Structure 1
Amino acid sequence: MSRITPFYVNEKNAAALLDMGVSEFRAHVKAGHLPRGQEIVPGLLRWDAESLRMIGRGAAVEGMQGVEW
């Protein structure tokens, strides 16, 4: 059986994608260095996994107008 690659991840997994602890990840989101999560349904906050991968690769310059560099 093949492994599923998620489109959206929770806060813990978003932090893990960037090799950070959750508190460090939250601090960077709060400071505007990383994008905020999206409420994909009421009460369910998730981060776009591909956007986080792009940030990790340094390929996220375009489309990140909400992030303060």
Structure 2
Amino acid sequence: MSKPTPILANEANAAKLLDMKPAEFCALVERGHLPRGREIAPGFVRWDVDELRRIGRGDAIDGMDGVQW
């Protein structure tokens, strides 16, 4: 049986998905460069994996649709 693909990631795994150290990831979240996680239950904060993928691809940039890279 194959390993399930996660739909949510904790802080450490979200950092790994973006190839960052947890401290780097946390700093970018605190500065507002990356989205905050969502509290899915008391004490359980998780990041949407699809949203992290969009950020990594550059698809989550608002107001940059007309830019030619």
- Normalised by the length of structure 2, the TM-score is 0.85
What are the Cα deviations for residues 24-65 of structure 1, in whole angstroms up to 9, with x where unaligned?
000000000000000001110000011001100111125xxx
Which runs of structure 2 are paired with 1:1-69 in the superposition (5 Å)?
A: 1-62=1-62
Ranges in structure 2 where 5+ consecutive residues have no aligned partner: 63-69
Count, aligned residues: 62
Question: Which structure exhibits the higher relative contact order, with contacts defined as CA atoms closer than 8 Å and separated by 6 or more residues?
Answer: 1
4+ residue segments displaced more than 2 Å: none
Ranges in structure 1 where 5+ consecutive residues have no aligned partner: 63-69
Q: Percent identity?
A: 60
- Aligned-CA RMSD value: 0.9
